[in-house]
Chain A
Amino acid sequence: MSSEETPPAWAASVAQAEHDVQVAGELRGMGYFDACLVYSEQAAEKMTKALWMVRHGHAAPRTHAVGRLLAALEAPETVVSAGHRLTRRYFASRYPAMVSGPPCATTDAQEADAALADAEEVIAWVRTLLPAA
């Protein structure tokens, strides 16, 4: 494949983000609410990092702080908050403190639905700012 045919790196990140949010929805449907939180955050993180690549011409910082990335990209406050909540849930579900039980036992459908909604809000905002692939 020539360099002209190589898709931009940000487009791969978008494709993976769109895949991840689909997986998050499937996991929620299967009752794996904690895993839904992880994939919801990953979808928003990859989408946000795609926009970072477009805006800055280099890879985004190695961080899961989606809200901070979105704030740096001058996202609206509601979008920043959605990204921030995704990161909160991600750490609680992926790196559990186990203080009140494992995430698989403490995460409910309501939290999973909220995570999916937050991911979709971030993705929708980013999508409006990306160039055509």
Chain B
Amino acid sequence: MGTHAPAGSMSPPLQHQDPVIAEFMERLLPKVRQAFRPQVVVLFGSRVHGNGDEWSDLDVLVVSDQFLGHGVYERMWRFDAATDRPLDVHPLCVTPDEFRAQAEQPTIIQEALRTGIRII
């Protein structure tokens, strides 16, 4: 299992034995960086906690102003287009303003920040 750090602060480089997380870090994160220039990326959910199974998705919070003006569904299609449609990654795509507002409330974004691993 890799190095964990609270999502509220930047974690060290993530070396993870979970194959989906490893795949995300090695192959997909560069695509996410290039497509969305994200201000924040947080990995969260059961795979991060080591209690997922082979059918568990990797939950990924992506904060980018590239999502401004796009609805919730269009953001997912843009994510899939940029990352070759990963079947085992579940993105949550939000704008910086949405991120700031939702982080202060009892939302999935707050939960991601509280329990996940911030990689950007």
Chain A residues near B (Cβ < 8 Å): 61-63, 65, 67-68, 71, 80-81, 84-85, 88-89, 91-92, 95, 97-100, 103, 106-107, 111
Tell me if A's interface is mostly helix, strand, loop or mixed: helix
Judged by a CB distance under 8 angstroms, whether B48 is at the interface is no
Among residues of B, the one whose C-beta sits closest to the C-beta of A37 is: B73
Chain A residues near B76: list those with CB within 8 A: 88, 92
- Of the four ranges (under 10, 10 to 19, 20 to 34, 35 or more), the interface on chain B belongs to 20 to 34
- The answer to whether B73 and A99 touch across the interface, beta carbons within 8 angstroms, is no
Question: 8 Å CB contacts to A: which residues of B31-84?
Answer: 54-55, 57, 71-73, 76-77, 80
Chain B residues near A (Cβ < 8 Å): 54-55, 57, 71-73, 76-77, 80, 85, 87-88, 90, 92, 94-95, 98, 102, 107-109
Query: 18 A-B pairs, CB-CB below 8 angstroms?
Result: A65-B88, A68-B87, A71-B87, A80-B87, A81-B85, A85-B77, A88-B80, A92-B73, A95-B108, A97-B72, A97-B102, A99-B92, A99-B98, A100-B71, A100-B72, A106-B71, A106-B73, A111-B73
